[in-house]
Amino acid sequence: MHSHPTQPESPNCVLCREDGGALVWRGSRLRLIRASEEGFPAFYRVIWNAHVAEFSDLSRADRAFCMEVVAAVEQLVREHLKPAKINLAALGNMVPHLHWHVIARWEWDSHFPAPVWANAQRSRDAEKEAAISARLPALDALLRERLQAEFA
Amino acid sequence: MHSHPTQPESPNCVLCREDGGALVWRGSRLRLIRASEEGFPAFYRVIWNAHVAEFSDLSRADRAFCMEVVAAVEQLVREHLKPAKINLAALGNMVPHLHWHVIARWEWDSHFPAPVWANAQRSRDAEKEAAISARLPALDALLRERLQAEFA
């Protein structure tokens, strides 16, 4: 267990004030939330708790810890949902507080193979999205269990 | 030094056949290239040499190695160019061969604060882009030197 002497907060930062989504698991250094992004039901974010803007602002140990959590989330999402691809990204242009998007993608999703931030390639498939959504509570429970076992 | 018993190649994969951009540095496990993406002069890619699709396909040690290279590139880009933000992403929907985009962003760039894959927010600024481009050969040399010293 690692503890931060300070957890710097930035007064106007939404990720300092709020969980930033449906909280799946919270650890001392980071948390996992599931986002509500239209058209992309299996969209998770690993959010660093302290207010740091860039990945390279973390220590080497914190970077390794953060990416092992990202990889664990990715792995469980893959095993449980069998997506066509996982997309990982830390952008933060709007909210410069380190958070990693972990997004499951399918050939049938509205944007594939374009990034989720690009223009849609086709209409959404409500039935397929609902089938994924129905499996998320079980996946969230698996994620919570694994993160608590390995990263608490 | 780590060596792969096999370097699997996929016959139709462009990142197995080609460097994938202007080669800055090549190591045994990965390489750094500078991409030519219109409007984003400081756009690098850390490309895993072997054909693996997902970050979680790598071993834990390889993930740490890969992300320390990404962080080193990010850090030198920040120090040398002072961008407003760094964007990191491993998407691979089109080319499912692990590669990390490391993209320097500025408030004046055509898309900021939107992702580079979204619609443009404004016209490009040829003068500002050229000023950045002029500094890239020196940055490439620093990157090559650091990666060779730390990651060869």
- For residue range B126-150, list pLDDT tens digits in order: 999 999 999 999 999 999 999 999 9
Q: What is the pLDDT of residue B5?
A: 44
* Residue-number span of the structural domain to which A57 is assigned: 14-151
Residue B115 lies in a domain: yes
Q: What is the count of structural domains for chain B?
A: 1
Residue A61 lies in a domain: yes
Residue A122 lies in a domain: yes
Residue B9 lies in a domain: no
Instruction: With beta carbons less than 8 A apart as the criterion, state whether A37 and A105 touch.
Output: no
**Helix pair A136-151, A60-81: axis angle to 10 deg:** 150
User: Above 0.90 for ipTM, yes or no?
Assistant: yes
Task: State whether A93 and B115 contact (CB < 8 Å).
Answer: yes
Residue A47 lies in a domain: yes
The segments of chain A whose pLDDT lies below 70 read 1-8
For residue B145, give the CATH number of its domain. Answer: 3.30.428.10
Residue A5 lies in a domain: no
- For residue range A54-86, list pLDDT tens digits in order: 999 999 999 999 999 999 999 999 999 999 999
Residue B2's pLDDT band (cuts 50, 70, 90): very low
The CA-CA-CA angle for residues B123, B79, B83, to 5°, reads: 20
C-alpha distances in Å from residue B105, one per residue of B9, B67, B117: 33, 20, 13
**Facing residue for B94 by CB, picked from A53, A113, A119:** A113
Q: What is the pLDDT of residue B7?
A: 57
Residue A38 lies in a domain: yes
pLDDT at B47 over 80: yes
pTM for this entry: 0.95
**Facing residue for A92 by CB, picked from B85, B94, B117:** B85
Q: What is the pLDDT of residue A112?
A: 98
